[in-house]
Amino acid sequence: MTNKRHIATPKRTNEILKKYGFFFKKSLGQNFLIDVNILENIIKHAGIDKTSGAIEIGPGIGALTEQLAIHAKNVVAFEIDQRLLPILNDTLSDYSNVNVIHQDILEANVKEVIDTHFSSDQEIHIVANLPYYITTPILTKLLRDRLPVSSYTVMIQKEVADRMAAKPNTKSYGSLTIAMQYYTHAEVVMHVPKSVFMPQPNVDSSILKLTTRAHPPVDVLDESFFFRIVQASFAQRRKTLRNNLTSHFKEKYNKETISTILERIGIDGTRRGESLTMEEFATLANAFFKLSNE
């Protein structure tokens, strides 16, 4: 297939939209990519090769799906918008290695889809241009489901990508950072200009690569409690750790009890949540979990 025929060009995209009378739904966060070079870079960063299985979320008219079909062994794409199904049937008709599933990814049993469509020895990668309004719920669900997936390479809002890949003591570092980095190694691999989308979004974009960890980097006694403590520590960013925890535990412990625990584990209560490493959050959560279960 020559470059002229690629879906991801302004001319071909416009032809497809016109042919089907398709209009963008703002409620679905639809912004289609119109630059083949960007797509090829995404594939490269994802580590896709001819043995890989690929899962896409929100294929649109098939711009990224087409590139995945060219480079991967087989592709499964989840599309929520019924209007796009006949379009995808047309634009991807040359590729027998693509399955489009009409389903909301937040309601899908992705593990079951993986078992059905991919072989057990295949390396599977999730690759997507995610709708910006629902990026965090999608990634959180997929990571918590602990899917047999090697990596997630996603186009998302730059500000959110920065938060997911942030380091301690930075403005972007917060509970979202911890949630992502507990399950994966997070890295912003590329920034993407607004001009490569149709229609152009109002925000800048980045490609974030999340490489799945075999095991979390810290040992916690209770995962959900750990995440509760992290969220509590960032509840009001300007407040000290001691004050945030006192607000969170007001029904159970007073300030003195909280100060005693913090002293015992060697964490200064006057610090703010953004200064704590994941290891320190694990120590903090484990100490309070033990206390709660005494």
On whether residue 228 sits in a domain, the answer given is yes
Residues 59 and 115 in one domain: yes
For residue 108, the domain's CATH number is 3.40.50.150
Using CA atoms, how far apart are residues 54 and 133, in angstroms rounded to an integer?
Answer: 23
Using CA atoms, how far apart are residues 158 and 228, in angstroms rounded to an integer?
Answer: 26
On whether residue 217 sits in a domain, the answer given is no
Asked whether residue 28 is marked as a ligand-binding residue, the answer is no
Residues 258 and 178 in one domain: no
Residues 93 and 154 in one domain: yes
Asked whether residue 286 is marked as a ligand-binding residue, the answer is no
pLDDT band at 2 (very low <50, low <70, confident <90, very high): very low
Q: What is the pTM of this model?
A: 0.92
Residues 206 and 187 in one domain: yes
Residues 153 and 202 in one domain: yes
For residue 286, the domain's CATH number is 1.10.8.100
- Report whether the peptide linkage leading into residue 10 is cis, meaning its omega lies within 30 degrees of zero: no
Asked whether residue 21 is marked as a ligand-binding residue, the answer is no
Residue ranges making up the domain that contains 39: 3-212
On whether residue 271 sits in a domain, the answer given is yes
Amino acid in position 225? F
The pLDDT tens digits for 65-97 are: 999 999 999 999 999 999 999 999 999 999 999
Residues 181 and 272 in one domain: no
Query: Is 36:8 a contact under the CB 8 Å cutoff?
Result: yes
The pLDDT tens digits for 211-262 are: 999 999 999 999 999 999 999 999 999 999 999 999 999 988 899 999 999 9
The pLDDT tens digits for 269-293 are: 999 999 999 999 999 999 999 988 8
Q: What are the DSSP calls for 117-173, one per residue?
A: HS-TT--EEEEEE--GGGHHHHHHHHHHTT-S-SEEEEEEEHHHHHHHT--TTSTT-
CA distances from 71 to 90, 91, 94, 214 (A): 19, 17, 14, 26
Residue from 92, 94, 83 nearest 17 by CA: 83
| Mean pLDDT, rounded, for 115-135 | 95
Count up the domains in the chain and report the number. Answer: 2
Asked whether residue 129 is marked as a ligand-binding residue, the answer is yes
pLDDT score, position 23? 82
Residue from 192, 184, 199 nearest 278 by CA: 184
| Mean pLDDT, rounded, for 111-133 | 95
Residues 155 and 248 in one domain: no
What the block records as the tokens of 164 is 């997911």
The last residue of a domain, from among 191, 212, 233: 212
Residues 55 and 193 in one domain: yes
pLDDT score, position 28? 67
The last residue of a domain, from among 212, 241, 262: 212
Asked whether residue 29 is marked as a ligand-binding residue, the answer is no
Residues 46 and 173 in one domain: yes
Residues 61 and 114 in one domain: yes
On whether residue 37 sits in a domain, the answer given is yes
Asked whether residue 79 is marked as a ligand-binding residue, the answer is yes
Query: Is 157:176 a contact under the CB 8 Å cutoff?
Result: no
Residues 109 and 235 in one domain: no
The last residue of a domain, from among 173, 193, 212: 212
What the block records as the tokens of 35 is 């630059």
Query: Is 209:189 a contact under the CB 8 Å cutoff?
Result: yes
CB atoms inside a 10 Å sphere around CB 210: 23
On whether residue 142 sits in a domain, the answer given is yes
Using CA atoms, how far apart are residues 166 and 178, in angstroms rounded to an integer?
Answer: 9
pLDDT score, position 110? 98
On whether residue 218 sits in a domain, the answer given is no
Residues 135 and 168 in one domain: yes
